[in-house]
């Protein structure tokens, strides 16, 4: 089967790998929609992140978001051949307190699917077929497309967890910094819950997209006094809930100041160090800070219900589609920032 490998700075190729086979609770899924995430930055720098240089990640094993059809099972279990499923990220033990409570993304005992199945391939979503434990597959409702269903991964997932963790409702003003795919997914999630949404971003394409998705206004930190503007828009209080998706300290500073006293701030964008003023920044303001990664599996019925109700927004935020043979064009497009969520099709 064809799969994608990054071979240097802005270099990649399709490589041939053996089709994986099902074993125990691991089933084989034919990948029919594979949303792109942050792999373009690995393509841009030739996989220089520490995870690659330490050998923890493999530049020929890429992609962690997918939806597709179950094509092989090794034993009766939670799915059957022919089932349409969302493929949740990672491979986890299934037995620890985190896995059992739906918070599998925080499992301390990840599983190596290649070792578990005695195969050379199957961990990557940018491949014609992938492996997944059956309990990490969500059944897709009949009328839902693979593209829409796959947004349950990073497209809408981390933002969903931020909304759940902070109990966002129609009485909230949600401030979102960074309007890449996760930030745009935050706009969709917050609008779905009836909240008022203010964005902070510089990218013109994504500013327009956020407004099309229902953001009331998007502030440009190069032109606007963001903190003053948010206070003006909220009767001098600040945003009740904030979501940081950029991973940039400049935006974190703005959100620390523009979130109201006793408000909540969710850190979703991956980043390095950031310094917080404990007394003046956090304690005096009574801020609640949250580290947000993926979402609780127990929310799956509610997540799929939301996806079925926000189809028009998903059609707006999924802006581009590429066959896997054009993955390089897809990554180059992502590097420009003039796109929303980008879909790749490993079987086209
Ligand atoms: Zn576990
Ligand atoms: Zn992702």
In the chain, where the domains are located: 2-154+296-345, 157-291
pLDDT tens digits, 172-205:
999 999 999 999 999 999 999 999 999 999 999 9
Phi-psi region of 91 (alpha: psi -120 to 50; beta: other; left: phi over 0): beta
What is the 77 CA–ligand 2 centroid distance (Å)?
26
pLDDT tens digits, 87-137:
999 999 999 999 999 999 999 999 999 999 999 999 999 999 999 999 999
Whole-angstrom CA distances from 90 to 178, 265, 289 are 25, 26, 25
pLDDT at 123: 97
pLDDT at 261: 98
What is the 235 CA–ligand 2 centroid distance (Å)?
36
Mean pLDDT value across residues 35-45: 96
For the CA of 107, the nearest ligand: 1
What is the 120 CA–ligand 1 centroid distance (Å)?
23
For the CA of 135, the nearest ligand: 1
Q: Which CATH superfamily is domain 2-154+296-345 in?
A: Medium-chain alcohol dehydrogenases, catalytic domain (3.90.180.10)
pLDDT tens digits, 281-316:
999 999 999 999 999 999 999 999 999 999 999 999
Q: Tokens 């926000």 sit at which residue?
A: 310
Which of 236, 230, 231, 232 has its CA nearest to residue 218? 230
Whole-angstrom CA distances from 66 to 15, 61, 92, 154 are 19, 14, 17, 10
Class of domain 157-291: alpha beta
What is the 184 CA–ligand 2 centroid distance (Å)?
14
What is the 64 CA–ligand 2 centroid distance (Å)?
6
What is the 262 CA–ligand 2 centroid distance (Å)?
31
What is the 38 CA–ligand 1 centroid distance (Å)?
25
Q: How far apart are CA 338 and CA 205, in angstroms?
A: 6
Contacting residues for 305 by C-beta, under 8 A, at least 6 apart:
none
What is the 246 CA–ligand 2 centroid distance (Å)?
14
């Amino acid at each position: 089967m064809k799969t994608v490998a990054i071979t240097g700075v802005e270099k990649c190729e399709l490589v041939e790998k053996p089709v994986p086979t099902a074993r125990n609770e691991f089933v084989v899924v034919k990948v029919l929609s594979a949303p792109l995430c942050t792999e373009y930055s690995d393509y841009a720098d030739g996989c220089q992140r520490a995870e690659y240089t330490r050998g923890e990640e493999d530049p020929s094993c890429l992609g962690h978001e997918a939806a597709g059809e179950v094509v092989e099972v090794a034993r009766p279990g939670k799915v059957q051949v022919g089932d349409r499923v969302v493929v949740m990220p990672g491979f986890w033990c299934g037995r620890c307190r985190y896995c059992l409570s739906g918070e599998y993304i925080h499992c301390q005992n990840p599983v190596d699917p290649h070792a578990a199945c005695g195969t050379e391939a199957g961990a990557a979503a940018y491949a014609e077929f992938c492996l997944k434990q059956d309990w990490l597959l969500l059944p897709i409702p009949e009328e839902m497309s693979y593209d829409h269903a796959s947004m349950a991964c990073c497209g809408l997932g981390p933002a969903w967890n931020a909304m759940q963790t902070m109990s966002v409702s129609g009485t909230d003003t949600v401030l979102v910094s960074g309007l890449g795919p996760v930030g745009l997914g935050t706009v969709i999630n917050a609008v779905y819950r009836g909240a008022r949404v203010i964005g902070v971003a510089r990218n013109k394409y994504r500013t327009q997209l956020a407004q099309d998705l229902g953001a009331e206004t998007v502030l440009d930190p190069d032109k606007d006094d963001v903190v003053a503007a948010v206070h003006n828009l909220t009767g001098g209080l600040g945003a009740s809930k904030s979501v940081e998706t950029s991973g940039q300290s400049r935006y974190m500073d703005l959100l620390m100041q523009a979130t109201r006293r006793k408000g909540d701030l969710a850190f979703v964008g991956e980043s390095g160090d950031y310094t917080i003023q404990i007394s003046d920044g956090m304690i005096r303001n009574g801020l609640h800070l949250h580290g947000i990664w993926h979402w609780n599996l127990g929310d799956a019925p509610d997540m799929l219900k939301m996806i079925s109700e926000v189809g028009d927004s998903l059609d707006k935020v999924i802006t581009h589609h590429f066959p896997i043979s054009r993955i390089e064009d897809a990554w180059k497009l992502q590097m420009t920032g003039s796109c929303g969520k980008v879909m790749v099709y490993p079987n086209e």
